[in-house]
Structure 1
Amino acid sequence: MTKYEGICKCGHEGTIRIKRGQEDFKSQEEIDKAFSETLCKKCRYELKKKQEAECNEYIKDSFEALELPELEGTEKQIAWANKIRKGMVDMWENSLIDGIMSPVSVLMDIKTYGPAFDEKGNGHKVADMLDKIIKNSTDAEKKRLVADLFISVLKRIRKAKMYIDIETGSPRVSVRDLLYKSFVEFKIDGTKEPKEVVISPKNAIDGRIVNIYSKDKIIYCESYVDMDVKSICKKNHYIWCTFSEAWYRNINVNANGSVADRKTELANRILNAGYIVRVDDPTLKDKIINADYEPEHRRWIAMHEGKLLIAFDYNDYPEIKTAFKRIKGCKIDRKTKFLLVPVEMYLQVEDLADLYDFRFNDKSREEIEKIKATLEASIADVKAGTEKKYTSRKQSIDEVYNELIDEES
């Protein structure tokens, strides 16, 4: 075993051990890089302790706010199923909060018992799906993901018989069997990646979570009442929706960029402001932390009612607004509040677009090309007419000479 000592990213002295079978460092640069990404033993313990506390608080709040559906069946079946369900919920909550047992180990028991469930190998499929859910996650993140998974299953089950069929007398085994049966009956796809990830800043303002997710091309941001979050959402052009009780924004991928980039940008800014964020796409975790996204381009030239529409943040750049208003025929549209310029003035618009980094959308480019073609045709007609007139009046030297002879004679 090789041991290295150095200064960790937390500023404390630490140790990195290369165990047997692991590849050793090849240069001092690799050693320095490893220490820059490592915490000392004490800081690792403190971080893990903090994450566990945040996780337990989150899970406790989730179960306290849990609203379970009414069960269907006979009166006796419903009473029996409710008792089983309550026992599992109580066991789950207490086990997570008190650390009596790891929820991950309960679920991963499916890997051991999977083949015994049926002959179709569903046990292995469920185990593979669970592996993907908890893969590359910290212990706290695993607990969050598994707790959310269990809650989502409880919300989907409406038949009392399903609880009765998995009754074993042991809440732990019942939980395992219930999850397995739910995965198979609801046809949960074992190839799906985990549905969300929770990211916490180093010094979170509090334990509450800002939830960011998308449906189709609309991004939503659910948050408790907070002026900082409100300010960030408004600055990123999100609008408050009373019906959804969330900030939302409809993304035009041709103008605003991809949904993933816009989601990453919003999550990164809220995270940097000191808030815990939950995002429905775990693949964005590293990008959110590292601010790895394509910046949104906010200056566009489009078409509206037969004119070029100049779209940008007017309040932030009054000098650009003044420059465009100098173009002949430029007016402010009452509905859109953007500037409208006649397409025939495209030369001046193109000059300002180059100067202020504007982009033309496909439709505006198409209309400009039409105007160019029309103007070129007109110029060609005028040029052809001029040449014809000039040619018709042009005489050869012999013709002029003959005319002069005729006049003299």
Structure 2
Amino acid sequence: MAWYCGTYSCGHEGRVNVIGPSKEREWKIDRAFSKMCPDCYKAQLEEENQKAIELAKEMELPDLQGSEKQVAWANTLRLKLIEKFDKFTEKDFDEVKGLFPEFDNLIYDDVLKIKDYIILNKTKASFYIDNRNESIRYFVETYKKQALEVNNETEKAMLDDIKTESTVFPEERITDVPVEITVLEDKITVSTEKNDDFKTIVKNLGYSWSGKSWDRKITKTNGPVSERSAELGNKLLNAGFPIVIFDEEIRQKAINGDFEPECKRWIFRRKNTDCFAINWTERDNDDLYKKARSLPGSKWSNGSVLVRVNHYQEVEEFAELYGFRFTEAAKELIDTYKKSLEKATVVKPAKVEETELKDGLQEILESGDDILDDLKD
């Protein structure tokens, strides 16, 4: 053991006690004096602790319990723990998920729930002092069960309250069990207890069973999703089913019947051709089939009536008469064809007069004396 004098990074002189083999002492001395002196380090910690206390109040973090010195330091340690979680990004989560079992069956949002659980429930200063060197893995493994159970219970209670305010009952209902209509960006899912009337309604509207719910994919030709979910809700209410729709605007549309009915007649562009494909979903509509087939050059192919773009004017008149809409691709086909007509060369052809052929023999016979004797009768 030996004492060595030197200058700390803060500029103050001092000495340090170094032990161990001589070959390691130089490294230990340099490391010791690369830091602040004990007094400056203590003053820095006190300043950090005071800032942490003030920041904790701004963030409305729970008060910590313990001695004055413990609470002061623990506030700093708690902020460092929050920072440690904040630096653990979704990308970091994806990288460690397959490497460490602590993260199995979790999603990134669960890690954030664990952080919130610790901050809200661990209010003893000693907790942050004892765990100041622990890793994210340790906190996830130790507290995921408690954190997720608490969050699940809280979320369930909140969901129950929201469902209650988002549920409407028809005056003449056939059941007290609401139908839950979930409106996603490009899909509607519907679920309730088993009921044949409900099943008939959703099937007629194009929904199919996924194994857990009745789903329908929403596209440009059957959307928008707000209109289709309002239409479904309205039909269910009129059939006597209570409904749950979280979106208040859609819910009111369903109640008031204020939605645009689904268009089931569309004119597409047949891929890789210059043809329109005329489609409708009404079954066994022979009259509509006859009208479509009366268009010039039409033919039946794979469930559609095909008509070449050359006859776009007749197709537009047909669409207006029978409530068909054009897809964007079909509109583009018309625009492209019109532009091609504009670029086409237009000429005024010269008219050639046809010469009338005369009967030469008759003229000779009628020429009088000039007629040869051997040609007379």
Larger RCO: 1 or 2 (CA < 8 Å, sep 6+) = 1
- TM-score for both structures, normalised by structure 1: 0.45
- TM-score for both structures, normalised by structure 2: 0.49
